[in-house]
A and B are shown apart, each in its own frame.
Chain A
Amino acid sequence: MTQVTMTVNGKAVSGEAEGRTLLSQFLRDGLGLTGTHVGCDTSQCGACSVHVNGKLVKSCTMFAVEADGAEVSTVEGEADEDGTLSTIQQAFQEHHGLQCGFCTPGMVMATKSLLAENPKPTEADIRAYLSGNICRCTGYHNIVKAIMAASGQDVSAIAAE
């Protein structure tokens, strides 16, 4: 066991990890931050996406010891302390960008990363950026709408069902 220390959503945390402990396990089982979901555990679905030092990564495909000393952000860090949703979360709610909600934490973290790199993405940009985040409910349509809305763009052009 190794002692691992990192900053998660602005708070210093530490815990024990085996070499094989994934960052996703450390967050969920070690810190109780179960907002980060593990869908496929094979780095394909993106439900476990978090930010490490500001970069989007799949937390099931990185070891906790590799995040020692890092700044980690998870979906729990999105809403304000009083529960006010972030702009992205609000847009997902308003545009019904989820059905079962399992993929949503990863979608939100991927969206945050997309909008930081590209504040006004086109529909094609959004669909390309989400290639590593799989949703099996929505057909992505409302997710794309939510992201257009979160970036302050008109969603009517993609409103046709």
Chain B
Amino acid sequence: MYAFDVETPSSVAEAVAALKDEEATALGGGQTLIPTLKQRLAAPEKLVSLSGIAEMKGISTDGGVLTIGGATIHADVAAQGDYPALAALAGNIGDPAVRNRGTIGGSLANNDPSACYPAAVLGTGATIVTNTREIAADDYFQGMFTTALEEGEIITAVKFPIPEAASYQKFDQPASRFALVGVFVAKTADGVRVAVTGASEEGVFRWSEAETALNKEFRSDALMDLNINAMNMIGDLHGTKEYRAHLVKVMTRRAINAIG
């Protein structure tokens, strides 16, 4: 790693002030950023650690909405009982040690195209809360490693309207434990939402044809005649574009069957 300073603010206001420095980068749990720094793929002069900010941690439920602080670790999300599909997703990210450091805000700010949380946020129709505004999930994800966040903007919380039913089905890439393909299906107040991670070169996306079919008939067979175009899928040594396109349908059907 190149040399840098690490600041450890204890409030959002202090962190925002520290991030005004244009050479500064926010550090969440560091489970992606620290390996990236070691490879010298990033060279910030200053890191602003968000993991010591108490007001960004914790989980609460009010009026059917689950609110998770941006610096909340995966293990704590896995332990909550109000949104079981989200707990199951969080409990299957990485490994136990990673789940004790990695945070929901860090994962969403990074927006890895194979990460699990983006599928839950887009699939639930959650709201990203930052130090300056609220961003709807449909406006937040803007392509691989790209989000609506402005320079220096911090995810302070995520609000999930708890759906009637939901399931996340992940086909693990066994070495990285990221999703080779993961599909989040939720029956929400506004209809069925289907969000796919791990598959597209554009990052997480909603499979709108499947949503239309499932709003008519919530059965896995409703997808029989649908196919995803393989053209924009990720193709690598772990799976071809066509294989990933096939997995999208398989994992969506599994999620529907898991909801029952």
Contact = CB atoms under 8 A, between A and B. Distances in A.
A2 B5 CA distance: 9
Contacts of A132: 94-98
A19 B34 contact: no
A61 B35 contact: yes
Contacts of A113: 96
Interface in A120-144: 129, 131-133
Nearest to B73: A55
Contacts of B1: 20
B100 A19 contact: no
B101 A62 contact: yes
A42 B35 contact: yes
A154 interface: no
Contacts of A133: 95
Nearest to A48: B97
Interface residues of B, number: 27
Interface string A36-64: 00000111001001000001111001110
Contact of A20 (B3, B51, B96, B98): B3
Nearest to A20: B1
Contacts of A65: 6, 8, 49
Interface in B1-47: 1-6, 8, 30-31, 34-35, 37-38, 46-47
B97 A46 contact: yes
A66 interface: yes
B247 to A, nearest CB: 21
A62 B52 CA distance: 13
B51 A66 contact: yes
A68 interface: yes
A76 to B, nearest CB: 18
Given A19-B6, A66-B6, A66-B51, A61 B96 contact: no
B75 interface: yes
Contact of A19 (B4, B31, B101): B4
B141 to A, nearest CB: 25
Contacts of A58: 97-98, 101
Contact of B96 (A2, A22, A43, A110): A110
A94 interface: no
Contacts of B34: 22, 43, 61-63
A110 B97 contact: yes
B177 interface: yes
Nearest to A46: B97
Nearest to A132: B95
A43 to B, nearest CB: 6
Interface of B: 1-6, 8, 30-31, 34-35, 37-38, 46-47, 49, 51-52, 75, 94-98, 100-101, 177
25 contacts: A2-B6, A19-B3, A19-B5, A19-B46, A19-B47, A20-B3, A42-B35, A43-B34, A43-B98, A56-B96, A57-B97, A57-B101, A58-B98, A61-B35, A62-B30, A65-B6, A65-B49, A66-B6, A66-B49, A110-B96, A110-B97, A131-B95, A132-B95, A132-B96, A132-B97
